[in-house]
Structure 1
Amino acid sequence: MKRTILQPRFKDSEHFINFWTKGNGKQLLEFSGAEVSFTDFDKFAPYFYHTDEVGDQVVKDVYFKKTFYEASKEIEGYIRNGISAQDDVPESIKQLFLQTQNIPDWLDRELIKRGAELCMRSNLDSLISLRDYCLMGGYDYAYLNKPLIATEALKKGAVKRLSETLDFWINVTRYNALDIHQKGYEFAIKTRLIHSYARLSIRKHYHNWDTENWGEPINSWDMMATYIGFSLVFMHSLHKLGNTISAEEEKGLFHLWKYVGYLLGIPENLLPNDKQEATQYFYLWTSIQPPADEDSVLLAHSLLNESLINPALKYQFQRRNLRYLHICCTWFLLDDEVCHRLQIPEVSNKKAFPLIKRTLNKIYDRLVSREARIRKGNTSQLKVLSDYHAIVQNSNFH
């Protein structure tokens, strides 16, 4: 059966129009100064049905022929020791590692360093942004969430999902993390193969997958949107929380995620270089996404209630207070229409905490040196990650 040509099917829908004329989309346009149109839609649309074939073949050649433990150890060996064209390994392994070991001509290590420093010096604001804007806001896109539902993310729970997201984000945003064989490089390769493993499993076991409407599972266009979340949306969130961002840091953040995307097998022409390109790319992608559905609401509430079941805080009143603060930040960072669709609870004085935080951030930026903020942010973020590691590894929690 021949597939129909993808159209910007929701461009005249109320949720799309409101987002770009009243909501966060309008803010992104003002923040980036981008001019958007549908002129390039046909250049991007094919990627809705495009996937990482090299990663998929590696999974077929390694993971599907051995135990998961054996396959993982084998891949770790390739990551840490490298691959040459003469090695006696499956052709897919050569393709993947010769690509990721090849440093693209455009790579600028100094820019990557600046991007990493922005991530670190933003301290806990980075984690608030990832959770309450990037992750929560992503749940408003119904088709984007279908792989999560198909792989039973709700059963695994928000604590596990947050831990995995944080593990990946922190490990790719430290100094020199993306150098070949280093920790961030390792996380990028492993994440790429996890995506392939999940995609092949969905194709095999999830018989109700609607490729026509939802695209291929974990397709390249959805991957682009996800990584725009880590760059454009993340940076917009920091801005809303009162953080100052230099032009060099801004360029660095996009450069960092462009390289992470390259390692993950996302086609290079889908990886934006700046906030103008990112906003235009995101505009086109949102035109094929319907608003939140029942699955979206379930995912959103699983994330909201994570604070209540997370044993990092000992007492229930502390957990309830943390949940309240995250709800306040969600209402502050996302527009009201999205919050209503995701059924985010109404709470009293919901603007107080974010507004106080924004004011304190402006003062903190003026009084404390950039180097001290980078050190402090790195320490704080690693502490949160350590707490999550301890929780997930606790068999009683599982």
Structure 2
Amino acid sequence: MEKQTLQPRFKDSKHFIDFWTTGNGKELTNFSGADLSFDDFEKFAPYYYHVDEIGDDVVREIYFKKSYPEASREIENYIRNGVSEHDNIPESAKKLFLQTQKIPDWLDLNLIKSGAELCMRSNLDSLISLRDYCLIGGYDYAYLNKPLIATEALKKGAVKRLSETLDFWVNVTRYDALEIHKKGYEFAIKTRLIHSYARLSIRKHYKNWDKENWGEPINSWDMMATYIGFSLVFMHSLLKLGNTISEEEEKGHFHLWKYVGYLLGIPVELLPDNKKQATEYFYLWTSIQPPSDKDSVLLAHSLLNESLENPILKYQFQRRNLKYLHICCTWFLLGDDVCKRLQIPEVPLRKGFPLTKRIINKIYDNLVSREARIKKGNKDQMKVLKDYLNITQNSNFH
């Protein structure tokens, strides 16, 4: 890692102080028992300029030297059939697959199973949390969004972007999905290489990249924050919506995302084991992020309008109603300060739907067995994913 001079430059800014003293940051601290300080800042800061060199080397050696379909077929062959030290294949691919095929000493498959069960049994609340808290809340961090802007994600459209996120999340959170050669493992490896491909493309084509302020494109510290979104922030959202989470599920959820992060090439020392660590790590990272800018607002509104553009619901009144419900959940989960910065529209009776959902969830948790909830949640989530894939894989949809 190269030498860095990064400082917690926004620690005295209003948006940072308010988040950690009155907003969701305070709730996360109370929930996790975190000890917030900048003592470890210098330990984490270099990762703002650190990237997954192994993944980058694979892209340089395979994707940049062959046609994209040919390179993809080669990678899929390695994913599905495995790699050995004696194979006559590019050295970079050998290095990547020997790393990801090696099961880490710390991996506990029973904990992974508990984490997957939490994701499934939370049913559509999981998808609400991903969309209306994790994704749109991430847009409030202006520098984190810069790779999305540089790769012209807005042109691709929110329906496609949401479909890709959902496809990844569902496929890494099913039973046994992360076993070597299985579908979740495949998604993790492919996503890792997509990140490398995007990073190298940004370096080559985006001449205005502000490395000092924004770090390396898709750097390891930003990746850590993204996966804290999938673990800590996601879990906080489920609790806000009235779900109960057992101690075993909580441990399992962090363990699952630690392993996904490991497969994605995030340094293991950046991957928290529990909510206390995750909150403390997140606190340090948020101190280098300014609040929403104009790009943040564009991304947020693109996601809000996805409900209107998506043809899964046939009638316009259904789509408008769905957008209204997502806006209600966004205000409820993110809080007023973030929603005002992202210019989320004001709507009447915005607490009605989320509060009703809280009450229903508490009753449902008491009346329906855990096994039945897991089974139904998996079925409903797979149905939503299938609907999205049917839409986005239709060549007439843009």
Residue 205 of structure 1 corresponds to which residue in structure 2? 205
Distance 1:214 1:275 in 2: 26
Q: Residue type matched to 1:153 in 2?
A: A
The answer to whether 1:231 aligns with 2:228 is no
Distance 2:99 2:260 in 1: 13
* Contact 1:52 1:266 (8 Å CA) reproduced: yes
Residue 341 of structure 1 corresponds to which residue in structure 2? 341
Structure 1 residue 296: deviation in Å? 0.1
Q: CA-to-partner distance for each residue in 1:94-148, whole Å, 9 max, x for gaps?
A: 1100000000000000000000000000000000000000001000000000000
Structure 1 residue 4: deviation in Å? 5.4
Residue 250 of structure 2 corresponds to which residue in structure 1? 250
Distance 1:394 1:266 in 2: 34
Mapping of residues 181-200 of structure 1, within 5 Å: 181-200=181-200
The answer to whether 1:124 aligns with 2:91 is no
Mapping of residues 98-137 of structure 1, within 5 Å: 98-137=98-137
The answer to whether 1:385 aligns with 2:395 is no
Distance 1:34 1:356 in 2: 30
Q: Residue type matched to 2:57 in 1?
A: Q
Distance 1:149 1:284 in 2: 24
Residue 260 of structure 2 corresponds to which residue in structure 1? 260
* Contact 1:3 1:212 (8 Å CA) reproduced: no
Q: CA-to-partner distance for each residue in 1:220-250, whole Å, 9 max, x for gaps?
A: 0000000000000000000000000000000
Q: CA-to-partner distance for each residue in 1:176-216, whole Å, 9 max, x for gaps?
A: 00000000000000000000000000000000000000000
Residue 53 of structure 1 corresponds to which residue in structure 2? 53
Q: CA-to-partner distance for each residue in 1:141-170, whole Å, 9 max, x for gaps?
A: 000000000000000000000000000000
Q: Could you tell me which runs of 5 or more consecutive residues in structure 2 were left unpaired when the two chains were aligned.
A: none
Q: Could you tell me which runs of 5 or more consecutive residues in structure 1 were left unpaired when the two chains were aligned.
A: none
Q: Residue type matched to 1:93 in 2?
A: A
Distance 2:309 2:213 in 1: 35
The answer to whether 1:34 aligns with 2:34 is yes
Runs of 4 or more consecutive aligned structure 1 residues displaced over 2 Å after TM superposition: none
The answer to whether 1:217 aligns with 2:241 is no
Distance 2:3 2:179 in 1: 41
Residue 365 of structure 1 corresponds to which residue in structure 2? 365
Query: What TM-score comes out, normalization by structure 2 length?
Result: 0.99
Distance 1:325 1:379 in 2: 22
Q: Residue type matched to 1:267 in 2?
A: P
The answer to whether 1:291 aligns with 2:286 is no
Taking only aligned residues, the RMSD between alpha carbons, in angstroms, comes to: 0.7
Query: What TM-score comes out, normalization by structure 1 length?
Result: 0.99
Q: Residue type matched to 1:123 in 2?
A: N
Structure 1 residue 335: deviation in Å? 1.6
Structure 1 residue 31: deviation in Å? 1.1
Distance 1:112 1:169 in 2: 14
Distance 2:388 2:150 in 1: 25
* Contact 1:142 1:290 (8 Å CA) reproduced: yes
Match of 1:17, SS state, is: helix
Match of 1:181, SS state, is: coil
Q: How many equivalent pairs are there?
A: 397
